[in-house]
Amino acid sequence: MLGSRLILGTGGVSSLKVLDEILKASGASVATVALRRVDPAARGSLLDVLLANGVEVLPNTAGCFTAAEAVLTASLAREAFGTDWVKLEVIGDEDNLLPDPVELLRAAEELCEDGFQVLPYTTDDPVLARRLVQAGCAAVMPLGAPIGSGLGIRNPHAISMVVEAVDVPVVLDAGIGTASDAALAMELGCAAVLAASAITRAKEPASMARAVRLGVQAGRSAHLAGRIPRRLYARASSPTGGMADLG
Amino acid sequence: MNGEVNELLPGTTVADVVRASSPSKTGIAVARNSAIVPRSEWTSTPVEDGDRIEILTAAAGG
């Protein structure tokens, strides 16, 4: 499904024109959408812009607080968009928008059983990530920081542990504030990054889309290249032998 | 319908209310009293007095 390692979250986009620009600049091949009541006054269709850019639609269950709501929303999204893929969100708190782990796992089990390809938005907890994969999830999407906060990856160590804990792709979701955050996610071994607000609410959304895309590419290359180990003291990079006696 | 009270003619179907509320038929899902009405059943599903109909589509979302 992933032609690009940057998934675009469309939340917060100011217009369909801007959406078109950031889709092109981001190079994303997958973009998320929410399911909401039709607006009879709406001009233009979000879906048409996504399809015109050849982007796969990844519906989410944003706004759901129980497993039952999320399962019904996912099923409606499958009906509307003809896809089995769902970014499963089951929120436990209105202020921090953190996932409710119990309801999330319950919904994931039910949707996997029903043939969905489930990508759960989850905490950065490797134990929960493993349970979600055992339930049959196709990927896990741990948060770097609360949705829309732009705080970056608050606990890189936890994200590394999630990457080690599961044998499915890990997609860093939520918390990205700028390109370097996306690079860090990829350096930690994430398979992809989802960015929404970081791009859609930037002063120049298309420029930020390009920057985050490059950050993802840079981080992926660095991850594959293998970084040097961290050490406490200096290790000279110039030869220590052959020094002139200049004293 | 979508949180508002609507007066409908007898015999109105889900297909009728979808047509009236959305210019597009693609990318739409319908729930009637919190149960999905599959597209294939829109024309054969009547809207009855007191039904809660939700007509949903894609919106920008993270």
Winning range, highest mean pLDDT, from A3-12, A70-79, A231-240: A70-79
Contacts of B55 in chain A (CB under 8 A): 37-38
Q: Domain-by-domain residue ranges, chain A?
A: 6-225
Binary contact (B60, A37; C-beta < 8 A): no
- Number of Cβ pairs < 8 A linking chain A and chain B: 95
Binary contact (A60, B39; C-beta < 8 A): no
CA A233 vs. chain centroid, Å, equals 35
Residue in B closest to A51 by C-alpha: B27
Binary contact (B24, A32; C-beta < 8 A): no
The CA distance from A64 to A92, in Å, is 9
Q: Write the residue in A12, A33, A147 that is nearest to B58 by C-beta.
A: A33
pLDDT tier for residue B1 given thresholds of 50, 70 and 90 = confident
- What integer pLDDT is reported at residue A13 of this predicted model? 93
- Does residue A146 sit at the B interface (CB-CB below 8 Å)? no
- Whether domain A6-225 has CATH 3.40.50.300: no
Three-class DSSP category at B50 = coil
What is the rounded average pLDDT for all residues in chain B? 91
Binary contact (B61, A32; C-beta < 8 A): yes
Q: Mark residue A19 as left, alpha or beta (left: phi above 0; alpha: psi -120 to 50; beta: remaining).
A: alpha
pLDDT tier for residue A146 given thresholds of 50, 70 and 90 = very high
- Does residue A62 sit at the B interface (CB-CB below 8 Å)? yes
Catalytic site includes residue A24: no
Query: What is the dihedral sign for C-alpha A219, A225, A226, A228?
Result: negative
pLDDT of A1 higher than 60: no
Q: Domain-by-domain residue ranges, chain B?
A: 14-57
What ipTM is given for this predicted complex?
0.92
Binary contact (B2, A36; C-beta < 8 A): no
Predicted confidence (pLDDT) per residue in A157-183, tens digit: 999 999 999 999 999 999 999 999 999
- What integer pLDDT is reported at residue A150 of this predicted model? 96
Buried b (16+ CB within 10 A) or exposed e, A195-204: bbbbbbebee
Nearest to A140 by CA among A112, A113, A118, A111: A118
Q: What percent of chain A has pLDDT over 70?
A: 99
Contacts of B32 in chain A (CB under 8 A): none
Distance from CA of B47 to the nearest CA of A (A): 18
* C-alpha pair distances (Å), A31 with each of A47, A54, A116, A176: 10, 10, 17, 16
Contacts of B27 in chain A (CB under 8 A): 45, 47, 80-81
Neighbour count for residue A48 (Cβ, 10 Å): 14
Q: Which residues contact B10 (CB under 8 A, 6 or more apart)?
A: none
DSSP result, chain A: --SSSEEEE-TT---HHHHHHHHHHH--SEEEEEEEE--TT--S-HHHHHHHTTPEEEEB-TT--SHHHHHHHHHHHHHHH---EEEE--BS-TTT--B-HHHHHHHHHHHHHTT-EEEEEE-S-HHHHHHHHHTT-S-BEEBSSSTT-----S-HHHHHHHHHH-SS-BEEES---SHHHHHHHHHTT-SEEEESHHHHTSSSHHHHHHHHHHHHHHHHHHHHH-PPPP-SS---SS-SSS-----
